[in-house]
Amino acid sequence: MITTVIIGCTIAALLLLLWRLTKDSTTGTDPLRMWEAEGHKVNVDAFRLLVDPDEAVFLWKSVPTPVFRRLQRKRIALALHSVHRMAGNAALLIRVATLARRSEDAQIASAADQLMFLCYRVRVNALIAELYLVLRWIFPAWAIRVPMALDRYERLLQVSVSCAPISVSFPAKYS
Amino acid sequence: MKASNVITMALWITPIVVQSIIGIVMFHRKLVQIFPVFFTYSVLIPTRETLLFVVRKYPNSYSGTYWLSEAIVVTLSLGVICEVIWHVIRPYSFLRRYALRFSWLAAAAALAVALIMFLSASRWAQPDPLFETIILLERSVRFLQACWLIVLILLMSRLGLTWQYYAAGITTGFGVYSASDLVLLELRAHLHWITDGTLVLLNSTAYNAAVIIWALYFVRPRLKTGIMVASLPNTEISRWNEELSEYLHK
């Protein structure tokens, strides 16, 4: 029974994605025109306020818990909307950059490479941000912290090693 | 000649003809260097089907040829998906490493699930255990193929990458065939709801559908859009990136 359910879900997911793939394959559409028509304005300052933990703490102190939960969910939903817009815009810009990379003008091609890299970073960051915002929407009172990136952890470790008393010995890897 | 025989023959001969045409078109459009594995697949299938058509009255030769070539075909179909993944990821040097690593991880996970499904199925109680084993093995491979396609499409859509025309066609064709074959193998091997005859007929129909999808993408003349980007639009992309990075590192 479990096997049938797994296979059924796999088939449903595959067919749904294929339908989206054929629907979204907009080969031949001018991406610049699409950007002008579908590119959304994003209010970055508003986004910053919506995800500001100090604002959440202030709200927590100012209103009763049920009201806080309701308002916090509203704020998170708005922040999610902003992230969706950023990700959508980045996807459109990736299409523009893909075409611009073929340009004979070396400057445009190089700028397109940089734009594409930035767009990719926005897409990846938006993906992680969406996940955390959804978690915070489900549990609005929880202060969910994003785990530190590994490089930051290593840097922290190095700093702590350099600040450590001489008598403390560390493995050779960290010394 | 019975109507069922005519349908069987039509379903057998159509892919031979259409895939031969796809092979010729690929050669003519110099797509062989771009999709060598798919080209091999497109040449191998009509060759195999023609051979099977010739030996159809000799059960031993037919069975031997079929199962031997089936193993090669299934391996090649997995190779085609690898080729498509590589083809769509290659232009994006900055994400090549991570995307490929993610694809392999997903494949390993899907393989593990497929193996568990294969080992947990009761095949020894069936009248022909060897045949049941082969069918269950094929179901596991199709499951792996379907999972890999899901990962590929998800990766492309979540990262907002652009599908190339032929890559989208190959993926759609394989996706339709994998999904249909998986349904049929589940109905036959696990649930025993359909007979072997129905399985063969419906499987052939599904394969015909896939071949027609490939033909639509490969044989149909491709419109040259000629869109050129003269300048890049002014955007706040770096600011969005900073804001999101800052939020994630708070």
Tally of domains in chain B:
1
CA-nearest residue of chain B to A92? Answer: B160
* A136 vs B contacts (CB less than 8 Å): none
Using the beta-carbon criterion (under 8 Å), do B175 and A13 form an inter-chain contact?
no
A30 phi, psi to nearest 5 deg: -70, 115
A94: exposed, middle or buried (Cβ count in 10 Å: 0-12, 13-18, 19+): buried
pLDDT at B224: 59
On whether the CB atoms of residues A21 and B170 are closer than 8 A, the answer is no
Q: Among positive and negative, which fits the CA dihedral B64, B66, B67, B73?
A: positive
* B176 vs A contacts (CB less than 8 Å): 18
On whether the CB atoms of residues B26 and B42 are closer than 8 A, the answer is yes
Q: How far is A61 from chain B (nearest CA, A)?
A: 21
Alpha-carbon distance B216 to B213, whole Å? 5
User: Nearest CB to A21: which of B168, B183, B190?
Assistant: B168
Which residue type sits at A48?
R
Question: Of A89-103, A104-118, B48-62, B188-202, where does the model show the most confidence?
Answer: B48-62
Average pLDDT over residues A62-77: 90
The H-or-E segment that residue B100 falls in is helix B93-120
Alpha-carbon distance A116 to B185, whole Å? 42
Question: Of A26-35, A146-155, A159-168, B103-112, where does the model show the most confidence?
Answer: B103-112
CA-to-CA dists, residue A147 to B37, B136, B236, B250, angstroms: 42, 42, 26, 9
On whether the CB atoms of residues B221 and A74 are closer than 8 A, the answer is no
Alpha-carbon distance B169 to B218, whole Å? 8
On whether the CB atoms of residues A1 and B148 are closer than 8 A, the answer is no
pLDDT at A7: 83
* A116 vs B contacts (CB less than 8 Å): 92, 94
* A22 vs B contacts (CB less than 8 Å): 168, 172
- The tokens describing B205, both together, are 């129909």
- The one-character DSSP state at B33 is T
pLDDT at B1: 62
For residue B35, how many other CB atoms are within 10 A of its CB? 20
* A48 vs B contacts (CB less than 8 Å): 243, 247
On whether the CB atoms of residues B117 and A10 are closer than 8 A, the answer is no
pLDDT at A147: 45
pLDDT mean for each 10 residues of chain B (250 residues): 79 89 90 91 90 87 86 87 86 76 84 81 67 79 86 79 79 88 81 80 90 88 64 78 78
Q: How far is A94 from chain B (nearest CA, A)?
A: 7
Optimal mutation site among A24, A25, A145, interface B, most CBs of chain B within 10 A: A25
pLDDT in tens, A131-151: 888 988 888 877 645 444 445
pLDDT at A24: 67
pLDDT at B209: 92
pLDDT at A73: 92
- The tokens describing B186, both together, are 């589940």
Q: Which of B6, B41, B4, B10 is closest to B218 using CA atoms?
A: B41
User: Nearest CB to A44: which of B94, B113, B239?
Assistant: B239
Domain ranges of chain A: 30-143
Interface confidence: ipTM more than 0.90: no
Task: Indicate the average pLDDT of chain A.
Answer: 76
